[in-house]
Structure 1
Amino acid sequence: MLELRHLRTLIALQETGSVSLAAERVFLTQSALSHQLKQLEAYYQQPLFERKSQPLRFTLAGERLLTLAHELLGRVAAAERDVARIREGEAGELRVAVECHTCFDWLMPAMDSYRQHWPAVELDIVSGFHADPVSLLLTQRADLAIVSEVEAQAGIVHQPLFAYEMVGIVARDHPLADKKVWQAADFAGETLIQYPVPDDMLDLWRKVLLPAGVNPPRRSSELTVAIIQLVASRRGVAALPYWAVRPYLEKGYVVARTIGDEGLRSELYAAVRSEDAPLAFMQDFLATVRERSFATLPGLTVLAG
């Protein structure tokens, strides 16, 4: 029989376009997810999607179940929020602090969706860039902090959001554009254009350059578009999230290259005070961020809780 887990699987397939990525999204092995899909197809006696299509395409039967999935799971989530409001009340305060310059690309759409779920929650962003946003939690100046590392601290818990790929960005006519994979040595002698943050907050520095003893000259800018412009003008190279630079790649302003043989992965977590973590409006904010981000940003992967 059709179950909610089947509907979640279909949505994961739609958003990722891949059985392997969908399995990761719903925390199953690829073989377990494939078995689940075969059971569904056996039950309905017809295929739900075309297996050899790229990207994956649903059949008419699959499209109908996908429509049901969006309708029904949305109603289930709304009912669960209603029950949570009855249990805990509708009002609250949620002040968000961020340490990354590109977070607003996905944070603002998620906040817009969240306001529709919890209109009585006072939702705000703590203005300015914060090198240590967790300190704002401890001093009651923020209620949630977006961070890239988990550092154990009394009274603070970390909830995983997602992982994403950092790519090397270079002008189309730059010699490094001919290399598909960059190593640490490729940054030597190049000017590295980055956001104005300490080196220890940069995954490129921590995971790639520092271990190799490479320390290129720097230039900084607070705006992604300004970094792209400098790179396109051959003033240097950069390492940025793939989802943040994809619009510029599609327009041909710059090209992107893999950093390291396995790619450079970065992570994002939400840090909250321990006593606030169980609150329904807090948990729904985290769920909304994940749902919106996975639905709209390319190349995200799931972080284990």
Structure 2
Amino acid sequence: RAGSTGRMHIAIECHACFEWLFPVLEQFRKSWPDVDVDIRPGLAFDALPALLREEVDLVVSSDPEDLPGVKFVELFDYKAVFVAASHHPLAAKPYVEAADFRSETLITYPVERTRLDVFSQLLIPAKVEPLAIRQVELTAVILLLVASNRGVAVLPDWVVREVKYSNDYVTRPLTENGVTRRLYAAVREDDLDKPFMSQLLKLAGEEARKLQRA
């Protein structure tokens, strides 16, 4: 009744978000040791229907839907940015466009295309296909391959914050105006008033702002 115990099962529809969420959960665990926390990759199943069925309690997603009894809480905005080796020919451009990918090996996370910003926001609307696609599970390995000029990538700007200070990489906007996306936490409306849910959402926002300032 005091709201000090409960369950926080989280599904993540953003592959790169595991790295952002772990520090949040580490802080959360210290404040709420009696709350059962679990993380599931939401890309492996239909996360939002699972939220409605109360199989999970929070879904991290960039694709809000109008669902009865579900609130999409804004977490933060981010930019999807192009990443290449510093000596890559496209590094000389002020920004990259869809057509630039026709001659490139695109290194992505191993998820369906519609879940990747580079496809949903740029390549699919432009009907452009990269020369090749290479799928890699870990962000660190993606950056290693990019630095070795084995391909190019598109990642959230907060993921590549260290790249800003490295001579091995360059980052460029996607299109002249850039591509901005918003990340949400989908929560059942009945759970919004639970103290530990409020605390998790607060910590998530604070950690996001730290990443964007870095």
User: Amino acid of the residue matched to residue 211 of structure 1?
Assistant: P
Superimposed CA distance per residue, residues 230-284 of structure 1 (whole angstroms, 9 cap, x where no aligned partner): 2222222110112211224423222111111121112211111232123222122
Asked if residue 200 in structure 1 is aligned to residue 119 in structure 2, the reply is: no
Q: TM-score, normalised by structure 1?
A: 0.65
Determine the structure 2 residue equivalent to 1:265. 180
Determine the structure 2 residue equivalent to 1:255. 170
Determine the structure 2 residue equivalent to 1:277. 192
Determine the structure 2 residue equivalent to 1:53. none
User: Amino acid of the residue matched to residue 87 of structure 2?
Assistant: D
User: Amino acid of the residue matched to residue 152 of structure 2?
Assistant: V
Structure richer in helix, relative to its length: 1
User: Amino acid of the residue matched to residue 50 of structure 2?
Assistant: L
What secondary structure, in the 3-state scheme, does the structure 2 residue paired with 1:288 have?
A: helix
What secondary structure, in the 3-state scheme, does the structure 2 residue paired with 1:89 have?
A: coil
Determine the structure 2 residue equivalent to 1:121. 35
Shift of 1:191: 1.4
Q: Is the 8 A contact 2:81 2:174 kept in 1?
A: yes
Superimposed CA distance per residue, residues 155-188 of structure 1 (whole angstroms, 9 cap, x where no aligned partner): 3221111111111011111110101211111112
Structure richer in strand, relative to its length: 2
Asked if residue 100 in structure 1 is aligned to residue 49 in structure 2, the reply is: no
Give the root-mean-square deviation of aligned CA atoms: 2.0
Shift of 1:104: 2.0
Determine the structure 2 residue equivalent to 1:245. 160
Which of the pair has more CA radius of gyration?
1
- Give the gaps of 5 or more residues in structure 2: none
Superimposed CA distance per residue, residues 58-117 of structure 1 (whole angstroms, 9 cap, x where no aligned partner): xxxxxxxxxxxxxxxxxxxxxxxxxxxxx7431111111112222122211111222233
Q: Which of 128, 133, 147 in structure 1 is aligned with 2:61?
A: 147
- Give the gaps of 5 or more residues in structure 1: 1-86, 301-305
Q: Is the 8 A contact 2:13 2:42 kept in 1?
A: no
Shift of 1:298: 2.0
Q: Is the 8 A contact 1:99 1:131 kept in 2?
A: no
Q: Which of 137, 140, 143 in structure 2 is aligned with 1:228?
A: 143
* Percent identity over paired residues: 41
**2 CA distance for matches of 1:153 and 1:101?**
23
Shift of 1:299: 5.8
Q: Which of 175, 190, 195 in structure 1 is aligned with 2:104?
A: 190
Q: Is the 8 A contact 2:43 2:111 kept in 1?
A: no
Shift of 1:128: 7.4
**2 CA distance for matches of 1:225 and 1:249?**
15
User: Amino acid of the residue matched to residue 148 of structure 1?
Assistant: S
**2 CA distance for matches of 1:191 and 1:198?**
17
What secondary structure, in the 3-state scheme, does the structure 2 residue paired with 1:275 have?
A: helix
Q: Is the 8 A contact 2:3 2:195 kept in 1?
A: no
